[in-house]
Structures are given as C-alpha cells and as structure tokens.
Amino acid sequence: MCGIVGYIGKDDGTEICLKGLKRLEYRGYDSAGMAVVDNQEIKSIKVKGRVAALEEKQKNNPLKGSLVIAHTRWATHGVPSEENAHPHFDCHKQFAIVHNGIIENYASLKRWLEEKGHKFTSQTDTEVIPHLIEDYYEGDLVATVQKVLSLVEGTYGLAIISAKEPDKMVAARCGSPLILGICDNGDYIVASDPTAVVEYTRKVVYLNDREVVVLNHGSYQIFTLDNKEVERETSEIAWDLAQIEKGGFPHFMLKEIFNQPDTVSNAMRGRIILSENRVKLGGLIDYLDSLAKSERIVFVACGTSWHAGLIAEYLFENLASLPTEVEYASEFRYKGSIVNTDTPYFVISQSGETADTLESLRKVKSAGGKVFGIVNVVGSTIARETDAGIYLHAGPEIGVASTKAFTSQVTVLSLLALYLAKARGKMSDEDMQARLNSVLALPKIIEKILKNADSIKNIAERYIKYNNFLYLGRGYNFPVALEGALKLKEISYIHAEGYPAAEMKHGPIALIDQNMPVVVVATDTEDIIYQKVMSNIEEVRARGGNIIAIATEGNEDIKNFATEVIYVPKTAGFISPIVNVIPLQLLSYYMAAARGCDIDKPRNLAKSVTVE
C-alpha cells in the first residue's frame, strides 16, 4: 500500500509533500519520511508513527528544497521503525528512493550486493534498489534506473532523486499506482493517487506498468523500461478539494456514511429512463446484447467488493435467471480454473488498483476472455485495462472501511441486473417500472435511516463491552451480514462473523450465550425468508443471546423477540441490502468511536491493497 509524493519545481516543495502525505495517510501510517536535494546533498528526516510526527520534526529542524520525495508507510518487510521508514539510500547517500510495492527477489539481490561490500541499514526489500543504482550508476540516472528495474521482480511505484543529478527526478510504476500532476506554473507532483495533487492541479497523467517518467524543471518525458518514448494525453480529475475534506464531520467514515443519499443518487443518475421504462448503461453499450445472451457470468473481487459481488449473484440469478459465480480474486488468480472465453467476467474494485483483482483481470484477458469493470476511480488501472465497465461516481472514499462505495456498487449492479432481466425476457413492463421506482426511492429512504443515527448510537454504546458478535442474514441479506461483521471488526477490533442464518445450527450456535450478541437482518421483504429468520431468532433467544434486529418499520411484534430493534423503511427485496447495510455501518462506527478507536486509520489496514 504506502503513499508516495514527489515534487520538482521552482519553490520549496516540503510543505506540498507534507500535505500530500496527510491526504495519502489512509494508504499507510506506521512510519513516514522525507528527503530533499540541497546544495548537491541529500538531507532527510524520518519518524516512526504518523505524518503528524514527521510534520513536527520538520518544524523543529526544517528541510528545504525544490526537489523532494516523501513517503508514508504500511509495513510489509521489517517492523515499523525509523530505520525501516522511507526514503532509503545507498551506502554514500547519493541516491534516495520512496517505494510502494514489494520486491520479490530482494533477498537474492541483497546477498549479491552484500558480497560486493554494500552495507544495509534496514530490514526492507526497498533498500536493494538504491544500492543497485549505486552499483550500476555511470553518470546517467535514467539509464541506470531502467537497468535496475529490469533486474527486480515484483511491484513498484517509486520516485528517485540523486545528489549527482540535482535537477532531476525519476519515477516509475509496475503494479502499484502512480500519477503525475502537472501544475499551471510548470511544477510537477508525483503521487500514489490524485488526492495528493488535487489541491494544486486537476491535470494528471496516469503512468502504465513498466513506464518511467523523467522530470526536469519545466519538462517531463515518459519512457518504457527499454527506453522507448511514450506520448500520453493528460486527464482531468473530476472532483474537487472539498470532497477530500471532512466537512465538519469527526471522521471521514461518518461523512461518507452520510454522503450515501447523494452517492447512491449519483450511481443511478442518467441510468434510469423512467419514461421509456428502461435502464441505460452507456459504459457497456457495445456489449449489452452479448451480455444478455450469456449463459453464465463470473464476478471477481476482494473484501467489501466481494460482498457486493455476492449480492450481484442473487440479483442476476433471481431477476435475470442468469447463472452467476463469485470468486475471491486472491484465489482466482492462482487456482487452475479454466477461463471460458464465452463467459463475461466482471471485476469489482473501489480504487481500481486492487492487486489481486488486477492480476485476475489480466489472467482472463491473457486467455482471450472479456473483462468488465465496476470501478469508482476514473483513470485507475483496472478502469483502463478492462474492455468496458460502469463507473460508480461516488467521489473519493478516504475512510479505510468502505461504505459509500459498497452501496454504489450494489446500486449499479442492481441496475445491470434489471437491464439483463428485461433483455432476457424475464421481467414484465409493469414489474420493471415498479422496480425502477423502488431504486429511485433509495436516496430518500437512506436519508430517513440517517435521521435515526442517534438511536443507533445509543444501542452501540450499550454493547461496547462485548468482544464477539455474530451477524445473520438470509437471501439477499446474507452478504449484508458478512459486510456488517467486516465493518465491525475492521474499525472496532471486535471479533465478528457473518453467516447465512440457517447455518448457525451447523456450528456457530455452540458459541451463543449472554456474552455473544447476535445482529440479525430481519426485514420482512419476503415472507418465507422472514419466517425462517424469525425461527433463527427464537433459537438465539432460547440460549440467552442478546439480539439486535434490523426490522421493517411497523413490525411491532419483533420487539417481543429481540433485545434491540433498529427500524428501516420497507423496500423491495432486491434493493434491501442497500437499505439494511446503512444501520450496520452506523452501528460499527459508533461502537468504534465509543471504544476510542482510530476509525479512519484502523490498525494494520490500508485503503488500497496494491500488494499481495
């Protein structure tokens, strides 16, 4: 994961880089560092801990320079420490590097370098790169970097500066995201993602894998590793600085939960043509006919996006009678599954940079298959490498625990399922119109739930003493149980597991007692499912378990069975996951807040998983 920022320009760039690190801190926050070239000498500062500690160190002993690189770390090789913090250097501190990724063959390279007399000061894989540059350098930093990167195996997004060439920065990417921000005054900012540059420019260039960008004062060039020059058009960031500020909320996560009436609305904007009783998906327009004729669809994703894929499985099979499978990207990319070139594959990723999902995409494409994306970040690698897809338009999601991206994913997947159901002759005009109206009602329904946030907060505060939770759901809401449990464990560090409600009797019921609260999604959108869930609630109640039920407004009877009840407005079953997950997001948030957890930066986690 990690976040990197680099600046080359006419002014002191240290403040720009520090601000950039603050915006990138959701990518990693166990140590931080910065280096500048000053009078043909590299000077640096490093800290164990957050960017705030680096900022304080900079105040006490300030660095200044117009050529700067900076880094906030999520540890892979080596414990969080000042020694393992980036930037890393060669033996004589003539070259400095910041790196996001993993060098897989670092151990053999390190042994070879040590045999040649190089001295290492960290336990990181990254440190082999500046030592390799030192060993191969013959006066041309660009050629040396190209040579060195041809020797390393693994992933990298990196920026390099040298005291030997003090007017130049070299940056490169392979598997880890990297962009170039082009400022109107001729300055350049290299960063892991647009959040670090948007305060200064919206004009960016996205680097592709195995490309190197060479930055001089006032000019830049892009080359491949084998030194072929590349022409690349600039892109425009579609959002503004206000969207990456907290806007008066105590945490980004809470802001993003409360953003959901707008982000769900954005996900459907222009895609529901009610007057024509149809769904319009422009990003897939060239492929919609072939998708409708498919005999099978496969979704590939990780984490929260995988949960969205599970909901899509119910949607596609129930509404469109289209057999659907959902794969963990981390397993799919390595298992010996045969890619069927007649089967459409969809990859789902908020960032568009998720390493396992990206490699799964490439596995399908290398076998000749078609891959489509459900992605939030415009210009991301997955967005560029898929054949076509659907953007979420949710805006930047800064909180590490995904909220608004999830509901936006499920919204666009619901629209795609409706399109396919109609195209495959599985849905009448009357049913289509009713379902489209249900989707259009979602923003107002979410607003109503959010107005009830204080009562959910009160429930959360009554349950912070418990260290284990069980989440249960059935049908469309089984993945909601998984997602609710994931949110709780991510940000509050409370152990939680989600299950299909009927599976409780096949093992988890042994855990239930008065110290194991059970959260049950028990909305009465489908009578048969509701009756089965109520039977599961009775089983928990008979064993002394405390029950927190998500129930439909007007259901007074459930108060006789549940310890706590959180009501949500009635909605159609196929979109109930979007409605029912909102109180679970709030429950997790308020429990984490009551326990004093660092909600936006939970321990050991980073937002965008760009390494295995």
* Residues identified as active-site: 2, 607
Beta strands in 50-185 (DSSP E): 67-73, 88-89, 95-103, 154-162, 168-174, 179-182
Q: Is 349 in contact with 323 (CB distance < 8 Å)?
A: no
Structure tokens at 187: 């300055």
Nearest-angstrom CA–CA distance, 69 and 188:
12
H/E stretch holding 472 reads strand 468-473
Angle in degrees, CA 449, 454, 458, rounded to 5? 120
Amino acid at 456: I
**DSSP code of 204?**
E
**DSSP code of 477?**
G
Q: Is 329 exposed, middle or buried (0-12, 13-18, 19+ CB in 10 A)?
A: buried
DSSP string, 338-392: PP-TTS-EEEEESSS--HHHHHHHHHHHHTT--EEEEESSTT-HHHHHSSEEEE-
| Residue appearing with tokens 């979109």 | 575
- CA atoms 389, 394, 400, 403: torsion sign: negative
H/E stretch holding 3 reads strand 3-8
To the nearest 5 percent, what fractions of the chain are helix, strand and coil? Answer: 40, 25, 35
Q: Is 269 exposed, middle or buried (0-12, 13-18, 19+ CB in 10 A)?
A: exposed
Q: Is 155 in contact with 608 (CB distance < 8 Å)?
A: no
Nearest to 585 by CA among 244, 253, 304, 248: 253
Q: Is 229 in contact with 221 (CB distance < 8 Å)?
A: yes
Nearest to 475 by CA among 434, 517, 511, 527: 527
Bridge partners (DSSP) listed for residue 549: 520, 565
Bond prior to 87 in cis (omega within 30° of 0): yes
